[in-house]
Amino acid sequence: MPKTQPFESTFGSQLTVSYENIGCDLKHSELEMETDSILVSIAMLKEVILGKTYHAVAVHFGVTRTAVERRIKAFALTLSREVGIEGLNEDGVAFVQRLRACGTAITAALERYEPQTSQKKRAGRILTAEDIRLCMQRTRTRSPCPNRDVALLYALLVTGARPLEIARLEVHDYLNADGSVREESVIRAEVAINHKIRPLFFSSQNATASIDNYLTERVRHSFGTSNQAGYRGLDPQSPLFLRETGEPFDIVTHRDQGQMRFLCRGIHDTYRKIFRRTGLCGVSALTVRRTVATRLFERGAAEEQIGEVLGIADKKSVRELLPKLHQPLQSVVRELV
């Protein structure tokens, strides 16, 4: 298997970290494990495009249905980006019907696919304070809608929410009727991707100042305003963030294997453009979620608390967002007392 460029993550962000102080045997072993993981994902994808349900594939491989769905969508996205799938764009990989309809094209793409296994252990990028400063500075100077885009960035950084959830937030989720900020709010069940209510905090002065600036601009342009008193003149039921034209981000509903799925291409495109303008390599919404998880962890938050903020029930999934900072055992026990 050729060792080329670093492999891409589930969300397409570039992942790199050095293999310092790790022996060659371990390095080869982990590369083999990574390759095996790719082959399992390929096998799962093939079974699904042949007509098997996610549940049936999960039973076959002895994992959960959710794990199968995530792996297949992640690999299909990687395949689409690295090789290209005729008739299937990046948004289409989220829907099993589209995968099956493009089964022939996917099979052809698999024949051209050469897994780009990493020579280095994969780990998610964590934004530093300087990275965040640059993101905000460049967004202010390069964005055609700077107040909104800076506010969108801060909204991700203080909530760790997913882009679709950000698109679903409404003015009353951020403001009280008297116009004050709801420092302790909630992500409502109808907003959350997992349909479970969870805490939402707007307790960062930088974040609230940026969102306030954007809302002031909205009122000035009469975007989502109301004649009723309260909420700073805004319609409390209007989305907290709007498109440049003042219209809500379109959210498409789609039924997939008996479950309702939702897709908001507009908010994802907006965030992709924001991240691209920052000029920082490999930054994505997942990068921000990793950053939020890491900052909470560094401040002493337990895994359960991090999961509560991010809407993740599985502790293992929370740990996957955190950096692997394990030190050699000899180092951590030296001069212990």
Contact partners, residue 99, CB within 8 Å, separation at least 6: 45, 48, 49, 72, 76, 88, 92, 93, 106
Q: Give me the DSSP letters along 159-182.
A: H---HHHHHH-BHHHHB-TTS-B-
Query: By the 8 A CB rule, do 17 and 122 touch?
Result: yes
Using CA atoms, how far apart are residues 280 and 287, in angstroms rounded to an integer?
A: 11
- State the number of CA atoms in the 13 A half-sphere of 226 facing the CB: 16
Q: What is the pLDDT of residue 13?
A: 32
Q: What is the pLDDT of residue 77?
A: 82
**pLDDT for position 309:** 94
The strand pairing partners of 17, in sequence order, are none
Q: What's the angle, vertex CA 119, arms to CA 287 and CA 16, rounded to 5?
A: 20
Which residue's structure tokens are 């390069």? 142
**3 state SS for 293-312:** HHHHHHCCCCHHHHHHHHCC
DSSP secondary structure of 252-277: EEEEETTEEEEE-HHHHHHHHHHHHH
pLDDT computed for residue 324 by the predictor:
65
* Strand blocks (E) in the chain: 184-187, 198-201, 252-256, 259-263
The confidence score (pLDDT) of residue 326 equals 55
Domains and CATH numbers, the chain: 24-112 (no CATH), 129-290 (1.10.443.10)
Closest CA to 150 of 81, 210, 72: 210
Q: Which has the closest alpha carbon to 90: 71, 72, 76? A: 76
- Report the alpha-carbon angle 117-288-189, nearest 5: 115
* Cα(168)–Cα(187) distance, integer angstroms: 9
For residue 4, what pLDDT is reported?
A: 35
Compute mean pLDDT per 10 residues along the chain, 337 residues long, and list them: 34 30 36 61 90 89 86 84 74 80 86 60 71 95 97 96 95 97 96 93 96 97 93 97 96 73 87 92 87 92 93 86 66 66
